[in-house]
């Protein structure tokens, strides 16, 4: 009888202790905070298990992946893996912040074309993403080392988000510029307090900063053919007139064949790398010389790498390019 009493006591004790240990999700000593790994029993997602839904436009399907996998894929698509680790960290935080911003937008007003995803891998509208297979194909024999480097950068900034007045920002970024970024108001017509023009002195050192594009008369005519009110006549040196630039060289407006358009519109129509450009007449066409690559708003990726190599941390980089922001921990 005594044996059965002892056995019953052990079983009862196990029923009390086992549920407590089963829900003990305290992280090991990895440097991660408790808040980043905690999963409550109400079913609320932790960031560790957070599912990111990405619409892959070319394949017409929605991927559901972890935030870490998504950010590694974004870094692979959007930034050179040879860049400094602090620049990669800054890009990872910007990419995660942009994801949260787009997710919030989708929850408020869903875009049916995304088919339930938060954003797409289309770089013309959102931010790029490469799958593990695509990364391996792109990098070849350097895939393993690059994968480890990007993973390390993503893990280093896990759960970090850029906020303004407590909300994730539109973390716009671009490849490089003419030495000064553009404000959102100049590019998109709406003032955004944290997307102001700032110096980006390292960009002019980029070997990719200055590029030229030569368009023959027929190529130019075809490119601008969709512009309303555009009529080309006479010599090619009369086709472009009244080019107006700001103090940093960004083309604000110009006239092509009598049609007045913005520098950004000209960039898109003519396939130029940026809205900082000059034009010269050639025998059979026009020669455009551009500075920078992209819209010029927000963080410059080359500028971030330059700052990192001068000793700046990823936090300092982000606070330089995004005015008046805070960097906080995000809890899903």
CA count, 13 A, side-chain hemisphere, 232: 18
Could you give the CA distance from residue 41 to residue 57 in angstroms, rounded to a whole number? Answer: 36
* CA-to-CA separations, 136 to 76, 133, 139, 200, 219, in angstroms, rounded: 10, 5, 5, 32, 37
**Token reading at 314:** 């990823």
* Residue 177: predicted pLDDT: 97
Could you give the CA distance from residue 197 to residue 166 in angstroms, rounded to a whole number? Answer: 22
CA count, 13 A, side-chain hemisphere, 84: 18
Are 192 and 170 a contacting pair, CB within 8 Å? Answer: yes
Phi, psi for residue 262 in degrees, rounded to 5: -80, 165
**Token reading at 265:** 């519109």
Neighbours of 195 (CB within 10 A): 27
* Residue 2: predicted pLDDT: 42
Specify the DSSP class assigned to residue 261.
Answer: E
pLDDT along the chain (332 residues), means of 10: 40 35 29 28 42 93 95 97 98 97 94 94 93 97 98 97 97 97 93 97 94 95 93 91 94 95 95 96 91 96 98 98 96 60
- Intra-chain end-to-end CA distance of the chain, in Å: 53
Instruction: Read off the pTM.
Output: 0.82
Could you give the CA distance from residue 288 to residue 323 in angstroms, rounded to a whole number? Answer: 32
């Amino acid at each position: 009888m005594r044996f059965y009493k002892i056995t019953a006591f052990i079983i009862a004790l196990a029923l009390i202790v086992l549920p407590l240990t089963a829900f003990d999700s305290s992280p090991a000593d990895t440097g991660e905070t408790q808040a980043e790994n905690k999963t409550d029993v109400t079913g609320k997602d932790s960031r560790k298990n957070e599912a990111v839904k990405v619409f892959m436009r070319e394949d017409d399907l929605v991927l559901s992946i972890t935030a870490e996998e998504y950010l590694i894929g974004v870094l692979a698509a959007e930034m050179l893996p040879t860049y400094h680790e602090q620049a990669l960290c800054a890009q990872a935080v910007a990419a995660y912040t942009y994801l949260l911003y787009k997710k919030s937008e989708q929850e408020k007003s869903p875009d049916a074309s995304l088919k339930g995803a938060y954003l797409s891998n289309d770089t013309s509208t959102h931010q790029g993403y490469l799958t593990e297979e695509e990364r391996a194909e792109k990098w070849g024999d350097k895939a393993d080392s690059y994968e480890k480097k990007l993973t390390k950068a993503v893990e280093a900034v896990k759960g970090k988000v850029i906020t303004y007045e407590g909300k994730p920002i539109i973390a716009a970024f671009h490849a490089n510029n003419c030495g000064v970024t553009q404000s959102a108001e100049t590019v998109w017509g709406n003032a955004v307090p944290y997307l102001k023009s700032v110096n980006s002195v390292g960009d002019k050192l980029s070997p990719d900063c200055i590029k030229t594009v030569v368009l023959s008369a027929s190529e130019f005519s075809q490119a601008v053919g969709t512009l309303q009110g555009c009529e080309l006549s006479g010599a090619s040196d009369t086709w472009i007139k009244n080019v107006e630039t700001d103090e940093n060289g960004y083309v604000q407006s110009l006239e092509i064949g009598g049609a007045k358009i913005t520098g950004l519109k000209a960039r898109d129509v003519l396939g130029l790398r940026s809205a900082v450009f000059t034009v010269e007449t050639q025998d059979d066409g026009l020669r455009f010389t551009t500075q920078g690559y992209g819209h010029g708003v927000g963080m410059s990726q080359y500028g971030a790498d330059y700052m990192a190599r001068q000793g700046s941390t990823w936090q300092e980089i982000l606070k330089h390019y995004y005015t008046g922001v805070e960097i906080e921990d995000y809890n899903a």
